[in-house]
Structure 1
Amino acid sequence: MADIRQQDMTADAATNPQQPAVIYRKDYAPPGWYIPKVALEFMLGLSETKVTAHLTLQRNGDHDRPLALDVDNVLPDSIMQNGQPLTWREEGGQIIVDGAASGAVLTIYCTVQPDQNTTLMGLYASNAMLCTQCEAEGFRRIIPFVDRPDNLSVYTVRMQGDKAAFPVLLSNGELTESGDADGDQHYAVWHDPWPKPSYLFALVAGDLVANRDSFTTMSGKPVDLAIYTRSEEDSARTGHAMKALKDSMRWDEQVYGREYDLGVFNIVAVSDFNMGAMENKGLNVFNTRYILADQDTANDGDFDGVEGVVAHEYFHNWSGNRVTCRDWFQLSLKEGFTVFRDQSFSADMNSAPVKRIEDVRILRAAQFPEDAGPLAHPIRPDSYMEISNFYTATVYNKGAEIIRMMATLAGPDNFRKGTDLYFDRHDGEAATCEDFVVAIEQGAGLDLSQFRLWYSQAGTPQITTNLSFDADSGTVTLTLKQSLAPTPGQTEKKPMVIPLKTALIDADSGTKSHEDILVLDQAEQSFTFTGFTAKPVLSINRGFSAPVTVHSPSDPAALAHLVRHDDDSFARYEALQKLLTERILADVAGASDTAIADADLVALFGALLADERLEEAMRAELLTLPSENFVTEQQAVMQPLKVHAARQALRTLLGQTLADGWRAIYKRMASVPFALSGAAKGARRMKGLALAYLVAGGADDAAQLCYDQFAAADNMTDRQSALMSLASLDDPLREKALSAFYDRYQGNALVIDKWFSMQALSTHPDCMAHITALRGHPDFTLSNPNRVRALYGALAGNPAVFHDPSGQGYAMLTDMIIALDATNPQTAARFIPPLGRWQRYDDKRGGQMRAALERIRAVDGLSKDTTEQVVKSLG
């Protein structure tokens, strides 16, 4: 969140002791001391773990500054150097050690209490298991350390604990020694030969079950693979994750030439986890949500999520581990690049067009609003208060789009040359975003001087188009203009380099011509095309070649023409989304005569329903209405309830007028047997969508149709889609199905998360009351991030409920944030953005949201995670 009111924030910090200091990228300096070797000894216990750290010291340069070690919530019991005690003092989040000598071995003794660590950062207990999460700054909660990415160390770890409590002892690298110790104890020694920063350290100890397999690398080296879970039942649900791991390893060799570099690769699934997963070298720790999947308990989105996240964390072995980031301002160096890699992998494993649409939908749902709000920041920020707040859609998803644009400009072969140069040049180093750009520039033979603005300028570029036709010369002229609105701390913006894949579509035949990549790098540019006898239709930003918003003159007929004839799947999808968005907004404004008419829209949907050439997953994407949040974002003053009503009315129209078509395709899709093939997943997606339209259209048998599908389903996708539709109906079958679902899956935390979310996301008239009741349900807890996200993430994602005029939705979220901040500030802070867009709403709602933020800010002892988000949101 770059340069956001820096002067005001600095002044405020002097008068508000709760406000954390701001850290600036311009102030980066290498560490005064390095620690090239680390030997750790753990005497494990849930309530108390003794840690002994032997740190080999290396002074960086000729200076006399004392050794400063970062620390958070743990202080040394004692510090020794070469057998002699040293004095130390605590000072501003560090301990200063007097008398430390370069080349000496510093020994630090610490005691930590894992079962008291509710932040889930550092070493903590989860269901009688010990595990760690050290990114970004969790290692300093285990021992005092030079806890920053540019301090690379070789680690040796000895773990000892009770055999019965901790039969499995895991850490980074490879197992070098294990055996029995005193009494009922045993030990294991792990050594990681690859230097790594402390944020990649990992330790897991517990009673675990392993699903084992193996992989042979392209050079013939065998690798032992294992996925650890808490039970045999969970282990049986790891087959899909194991397949994804092996597919990822093979793909990275084929596409990037990157081979795995250890003899073992372990994954551990943890139920209490703030993030999705963590790429610790050789020992990935995962949220169970992204490991456990089978036909009965996981829907198709879960299967895709497991595949994508497993790939993401594995790809980090090179783009994040072997080449890591120099400082946290460079976070997108590893995350943006790796998201691009996992997106490309998933596109190759599944339907590439559908995957591209999914990626863009996520970008627009999370990142575009971030770019347009008080938390806007470049993908390489200039400042922060708390680094955990920068694990954002901008750093990850927009970061991936910047890499994609470079790949587009370079072409596949030259882009590969650039990535090869990057990996070879910076292997074993802590690099910067600039290092990556230089490698692509030199490897691909590009000049990316102006392109670098994508790393420093926040905001989403707005592109306006004008297509004119000169009948006398047969010339078409396309004029493009770009603009970038001011964002916090950045009032003046320069033109960006924007690659726009473009084609012209004949207005009669639908044939394509002049397909090319137009590079817009000025505020305004014109491009000419010859050989036309009539004005064509513009197809622009095909494949979403750039993360921009394109504004073209509204022409429903031209958009419908693209839906029917464009051969670019994303362009077809985009055209229909624009048609639908314009129609909903026109209905809100009472200006329906400016948008596509009912009959034309019904005819278009009917044609898509009947088009036998479409794969079902693509058909479902085309026929899905834009989300309420996306449509609302297009309004100058956001009106969520009016958008909700207009969108629901449109769903009802399409559900009623095309009822026969929906019912026919529903029956056809119902005959497709379960499989994880693209065709079978597409059939289930289309089946669920058809059912939803029948429900929206008020079919007489809607509730019974939902319940029958729910009761007969042999997979979670069908069961959940039926229950999701039924949850919005005021019918006795609703409660019957919800009770049956709960009874069947009680005790399965991930599935019960779905049970909470489906009710909180429903359009049932009593949804607010349902959410209120769910807050007091015996299975609800604030201690598990997945459960919190299941209920409160759904609340914030249900506009008609969250933005209820009473302000009750805002109050619910605020109460939760305040309560959760006391125990898990990292998770609490991530719920601030739904309140942070208060300036985009009417005075009443905006005032309620601002008051909620002020109430959070007034809490004594508020964490710096939440404080930063609140301060920036208030402006």
Structure 2
Amino acid sequence: MRDANPQTIYLKDYSVPEYLIHEVDLNFDLGEEHTVVVARLTLQRNPQSQSPNQELTLMGEDLNLLGVELDGTALHAQQYVQTDTSLTIHQAPQDGIFVLKIENSINPKANTAFEGLYQSSTMLCTQCEAEGFRKITYFLDRPDVMSRFKTTLVADKDKYPVLLSNGNKVEQGELAGNRHWVSWEDPFAKPCYLFALVAGQLECIEDRFVTMSGREISLQIYVEAHDVDKCDHAMQSLKNAMRWDEEVYGREYDLDLYMIVAVGHFNMGAMENKGLNIFNTKFVLARPDTATDSDYEHIEGVIGHEYFHNWSGNRVTCRDWFQLSLKEGFTVFRDQQFSGDRASKAVKRIEDVNMLRARQFAEDAGPLAHPIRPEAYIEINNFYTLTVYEKGAEVVRMLHTLLGGEGFRKGCDLYFQRHDGQAVTCDDFVSAMEDANGRDLTQFRRWYSQAGTPQLNVEQHYDAESGQLELTLRQHCPDTPGQTDKPPLHIPVKIGLLNSRGQVELIKLDGRPPVEETVLELTEAEQSFALSGLAEQPTVSWLRGFSAPVIVKMQRSLEELAFLLSYDSDTFNRWEASQQLAGQVIADLIADIQQGRELTLNPVIVEAYTKLLEQQWDDLSYFSLLLALPDESYLASQMDVIDVDAIHQAREFVKKSLAERLQAHFLRLYRENHREESGQFDAGAIGRRRIKNTCLHYLSTLETGDSQSLSLRQFEGAANMTDQMASLSAIVNSRHPAKQACLEQFYRQWQDEDLVIDKWFALQASSHWPGTFAKVQQLLQHSAFDMKNPNRVRSLVGAFSQANPVHFHARDGSGYHFLADQVIALDKLNPQVASRMVTALTQWRRYDDERQQLMKAVLQRIIDTEAISTDVFETASKSLA
């Protein structure tokens, strides 16, 4: 049962651990319903601790304590105190080294929260970040306690032929009764959140990698037998990441073995446990007929992310959980760099910013807004957020922009050199950047402690007589919970200039040599910059490459946006012009809908899109993004009061109107790029699929016999999952006569492939077509739906509540009541996943009064539910605060 007054943890209260654990010797006697854990901990009083407390308190939850020994002597009940969350040893030794032996048992099969040791299918596996290790044995479960681990696993040979843990395999043997054992030893000290264990009936795919110093590393991916043919891409992605980290950051892998295990039941995407990464199957398994191009790209990105953590997270880890962005923001930035280098930098940057603005900006603008280094939390699992990860990555990217690539690399080298083997803070990271480059980044540090998305107001004044353009920038960050009157931030604003012919105009600033683009360092609340030597007033290309996570406030005409869409040399800003152009057209139509006026399409957007369609493009993936309309969540973020129905109607009107006027262009482009190919994962093939499927979705809005036959032919003839899913999506989101037949055919074809069936659920749950809510309720009872499987929950409940605004926000509140029902039911099984489902309700203040009252009521209902978890309570209560 939840504590009526759950404890809030504050950054300001941090103190060093009272004890250190130098060595950990773990012995597991594994069983799915009864596992016995024997932990031998070699401890010492921390000489840096100033606490007068002479007790040793270890964290522990859901453990059955069997016995405790101190230096070989069994302790009796009066010498320790056991509670639901801790084990306290009275009069613990204050001098010298001592050994504490703890024996306890756990039930992995009953662990539906998937924290600690749990069962997934027929295997046993662990998830210890953030505080799961305390569900395995009693421990100082905090990241600044770093220990060397030796782990011995004992199990039945038939049930668990594969026994894995961190580090290197050092011993193994046979036991009576068809049992065996394996010992693993990790030579590097690590916090317990990086501990991992896997036992099961698994097949291994193996390869080799030779490091830059000539060492040979064994690479192993473990999966269930039926997934062996879906690992090639993951293995190649791992080798690509290892080589890239050596070339770009000079980081070489440090063990002789690197292992990945794919697990079907997992709360997260993956986990960087030292030497033994545990992955959600979604981010390992891929075959062209079962995985889309997007799946392939995400797999490479997540494989890279977890590998890069070996240095930015494992070798140098975070001192406390408030510093989570130290490892996650930095590593997200590294995986974004990697993915951009592997494919299209332009496309990768646009995809990252699109997600950031649609989702993280909403988090910043709502009741759950927090800095990338939070000041307080009730449940740490709730701070694995877009702010900590994605905005944290943008803060690291700004350092890269301010210092330049060479300066940033110098700062990283110093950071790793100084802090290898340590648990440190975000300030330590910034200090390394400062010291390596001789820069004062005191003001920049405010990004770590200040919540909210800054707004930049931009003004321009051109003096024809002097040929000078004065740029005035004003920054303001709106109030967020607990933070008002915020001081100015240090914001890098990258700009370029275009003359009236669309050519690059050189920038002359402060007597510096002329350049094609420059970074304006905004440090004041209001600041002006004078650009000289201009024969005419140029068009300014603002915030190139999205050089800072801010909202730029300025008025641009549709004609000016069309000009930038045609000529801007910055690939991000060219796409941004397309989004703003379409966004303004849609916004005008929303106003028409609200006023009951007849809808007509502004010809400016037709002309702009016609020009795009008549050009030749080398990067077809980028071209497809230029043609894509802003999604409904982004459009909603631009409104003071969100009108979900008007947004959907206006966007669909623009999409269908463009399809009608540009039908010949879309059809030509589709036919030029349509090939029944098996799914090669290269830039050319990916680009062809993206552009032809963009055209298909436009054409499907026409709902003519020709467009319907086009999508049906592609569905029936698709030789890869990208084309099959794109055509099925076009069918499901239109009045296609074969809709139900295609859905049934798809299910029959892929019913044995869990990840594909996740797509089937998500596609139906996110459909904007009438009747979707009834379909979602029906799917909840489908034999393939499993509330215990996080991937399946996300594919149905998550897709409906977070990717289907027009139906989730139905005026009768049915979507809200549905979500509350699922959250309450899910909370009994998996509080962590349940809490993440609640976030669909956190923006209730952005809607009309009627919807506000409905959302508030279901949030209150969730809070008032008896025995609701602290995970869900914190998210729901903060949403209402």
* Partner in structure 1 of residue 780 of structure 2: 775
* Partner in structure 2 of residue 56 of structure 1: 42
* Partner in structure 1 of residue 562 of structure 2: 560
Q: Distance in 2 between matches of 1:541 and 1:726?
A: 39
SS at match of 1:764: coil
Task: Check the 8 A contact 2:701/2:734 in 1, yes or no.
Answer: no
* Partner in structure 1 of residue 752 of structure 2: 747
CA deviations on 1:356-401 (whole Å, 9 max, x unpaired) are: 0011011112210000000000000000000000000000000000
Letter in 2 for 1:20: P
* Partner in structure 2 of residue 763 of structure 1: 768
Does 2:283 align with 1:290?
yes
* Partner in structure 1 of residue 510 of structure 2: none
Q: Distance in 1 between matches of 2:143 and 2:391?
A: 22
Q: 1:557 to 1:209 in 2, by over 3 A?
A: same
Q: Distance in 2 between matches of 1:508 and 1:316?
A: 47
CA deviations on 1:16-48 (whole Å, 9 max, x unpaired) are: 943411110000001111111000000010111
Task: Check the 8 A contact 1:507/1:561 in 2, yes or no.
Answer: no
Normalising by structure 2, we get a TM-score of 0.96
Query: Percent identity of the aligned residues?
Result: 47
SS at match of 2:189: strand
* Partner in structure 2 of residue 570 of structure 1: 572
Task: Check the 8 A contact 1:75/1:144 in 2, yes or no.
Answer: no
* Partner in structure 2 of residue 527 of structure 1: 529
* Partner in structure 1 of residue 6 of structure 2: 20
More deviation in 857-866 or 512-521?
512-521
* Partner in structure 1 of residue 875 of structure 2: 869
* Partner in structure 2 of residue 626 of structure 1: 630
Q: Which runs of 5+ in 2 are unaligned?
A: 508-516
Does 2:216 align with 1:222?
yes
Q: Paired residues, what number?
A: 860
Does 2:815 align with 1:817?
no
* Partner in structure 1 of residue 513 of structure 2: none
Q: Distance in 2 between matches of 1:672 and 1:526?
A: 56
Report the CA distance between 1:128 and its aligned residue. 1.3
SS at match of 1:518: strand
Q: Distance in 1 between matches of 2:156 and 2:412?
A: 46
Q: Distance in 2 between matches of 1:19 and 1:255?
A: 48
Task: Check the 8 A contact 1:651/1:697 in 2, yes or no.
Answer: no
1:128 aligned to which of 118, 122, 130: 122
Q: Distance in 2 between matches of 1:18 and 1:687?
A: 56
CA deviations on 1:776-820 (whole Å, 9 max, x unpaired) are: 111111100000000011101101110111111111111110000
Letter in 2 for 1:183: G
* Partner in structure 1 of residue 514 of structure 2: none
* Partner in structure 1 of residue 352 of structure 2: 359
CA deviations on 1:394-447 (whole Å, 9 max, x unpaired) are: 000000000000011111111111000000100000010000000011112211
1:46 aligned to which of 15, 23, 32: 32
SS at match of 2:310: coil
Does 2:409 align with 1:410?
no
Task: Check the 8 A contact 2:496/2:542 in 1, yes or no.
Answer: yes
Q: Distance in 1 between matches of 2:876 and 2:823?
A: 11
CA deviations on 1:740-763 (whole Å, 9 max, x unpaired) are: 110010121100000001111112
Does 2:192 align with 1:198?
yes
Task: Check the 8 A contact 1:659/1:697 in 2, yes or no.
Answer: no
Q: Distance in 2 between matches of 1:132 and 1:835?
A: 31
Task: Check the 8 A contact 1:665/1:690 in 2, yes or no.
Answer: yes
* Partner in structure 2 of residue 9 of structure 1: none
1:682 aligned to which of 687, 691, 715: 687
Q: Distance in 1 between matches of 2:657 and 2:471?
A: 37
Task: Check the 8 A contact 1:583/1:596 in 2, yes or no.
Answer: no
Report the CA distance between 1:596 and its aligned residue. 11
Report the CA distance between 1:64 and its aligned residue. 4.6
Q: Distance in 1 between matches of 2:305 and 2:210?
A: 20
SS at match of 2:100: strand
SS at match of 1:53: strand
* Partner in structure 2 of residue 72 of structure 1: 61
Task: Check the 8 A contact 1:466/1:553 in 2, yes or no.
Answer: no
SS at match of 1:104: strand
Task: Check the 8 A contact 1:18/1:861 in 2, yes or no.
Answer: no
Please list, as runs of the form range in 1=range in 2, the aligned pairs for 1:382-421 lying within 5 A after superposition: 382-421=375-414
Task: Check the 8 A contact 1:389/1:869 in 2, yes or no.
Answer: yes
Q: Distance in 1 between matches of 2:839 and 2:540?
A: 36
Letter in 2 for 1:142: I
Does 2:159 align with 1:165?
yes
* Partner in structure 2 of residue 98 of structure 1: 90
Letter in 2 for 1:697: L
CA deviations on 1:299-347 (whole Å, 9 max, x unpaired) are: 0010001000000000000000000000000000000000000000000
2:314 aligned to which of 318, 321, 324: 321
1:302 aligned to which of 295, 313, 316: 295
Task: Check the 8 A contact 2:414/2:432 in 1, yes or no.
Answer: yes
Report the CA distance between 1:728 and its aligned residue. 1.5
Please list, as runs of the form range in 1=range in 2, the aligned pairs for 1:228-307 lying within 5 A after superposition: 228-231=222-225, 233-307=226-300
SS at match of 1:297: coil
Letter in 2 for 1:819: A
Q: Distance in 2 between matches of 1:630 and 1:90?
A: 51
Task: Check the 8 A contact 1:656/1:698 in 2, yes or no.
Answer: no
* Partner in structure 2 of residue 8 of structure 1: none
SS at match of 1:590: helix
SS at match of 1:626: coil
* Partner in structure 1 of residue 609 of structure 2: 605
Task: Check the 8 A contact 1:70/1:94 in 2, yes or no.
Answer: yes
Q: Distance in 1 between matches of 2:837 and 2:383?
A: 14
Report the CA distance between 1:474 and its aligned residue. 1.6
CA deviations on 1:639-670 (whole Å, 9 max, x unpaired) are: 11110110010101111111111100000110
Does 2:70 align with 1:81?
yes
Letter in 2 for 1:753: D
Q: Which runs of 5+ in 1 are unaligned?
A: 1-12
Task: Check the 8 A contact 2:60/2:86 in 1, yes or no.
Answer: yes
